[in-house]
Each structure stands twice: as structure tokens, then as C-alpha cells.
Amino acid sequence: MAVDLYSTALIAIVVVFTDVLCIRFHASSSILEAVAGIILGSVLSVRIEPWLDFLGTFGGLMKSFLETKNANIRHIVSPGMDQFPIFDRGGLPW
């Protein structure tokens, strides 16, 4: 089973290059990486390997989980607490 690492290496080089550009020009890395991904996928028709797709999906799920874990629930819920009758019993249920 041969793995074509050309597309993976090209994606890695573009990600590093866009990160360097973001640091240099004080721009958002998400925007430049999304634009670079559109150019790679549409114009150059670069396809990612299934294992790289798995790693990206897994990393995105883990990042979402960790961001949710670090969220301040009391800060998020407090502006609208008077709208929910469950919170009238003396505080948050958690």
C-alpha cells in the first residue's frame, strides 16, 4: 500500500507559509488558511489523504471539547437567567 505524501507535504508547507505570513502581517491565521485551502482544493485540485482527514476531524473535536470545558458557564448564562424558571430555585443546577 503506497501513500502519496505529495499532497500532505504540500498542505503542510502551505500551512507553515500562511502562519509565517500571519505573524508577519498581524493577520488572522484562520482566514489565510481558509483562503489557501480553497486555492489548493479548487485551483490545484489537491486532495487530502484519509488519515489526514481523520486527524483533522479528531483535532477539531478535541479543540471544541477543550474550549467548551474552559468556558465560564456562569458568565454565559447570567444575562438571561431571569428568563428561565429553573434558575429561580436558588442558583444554577450545576
Q: Extract the C-alpha cell encoding 16.
A: 507553515
Report the pLDDT averaged over residues 57-67: 85
Q: Residue 23 CA to chain centroid, in angstroms? A: 18
In a domain, 17, yes or no: yes
CB atoms within 10 A of CB 32: 18
Banded pLDDT at 83 (limits 50, 70, 90): low
Q: Extract the C-alpha cell encoding 60.
A: 477539531
In a domain, 92, yes or no: no
In a domain, 86, yes or no: no
Q: Extract the C-alpha cell encoding 81.
A: 437567567
Predicted local distance difference test score (pLDDT) of residue 17: 92
Banded pLDDT at 45 (limits 50, 70, 90): confident
29 vs 77 pLDDT, higher one: 29
In a domain, 80, yes or no: no
Q: Which domain holds residue 35?
A: 6-71
Nearest in space to 49 (alpha carbons), one of 14, 16, 15, 3: 3
Domain count, the chain: 1
Report the pLDDT averaged over residues 5-29: 87
Tell me: pLDDT of 82 over 60.
Answer: no
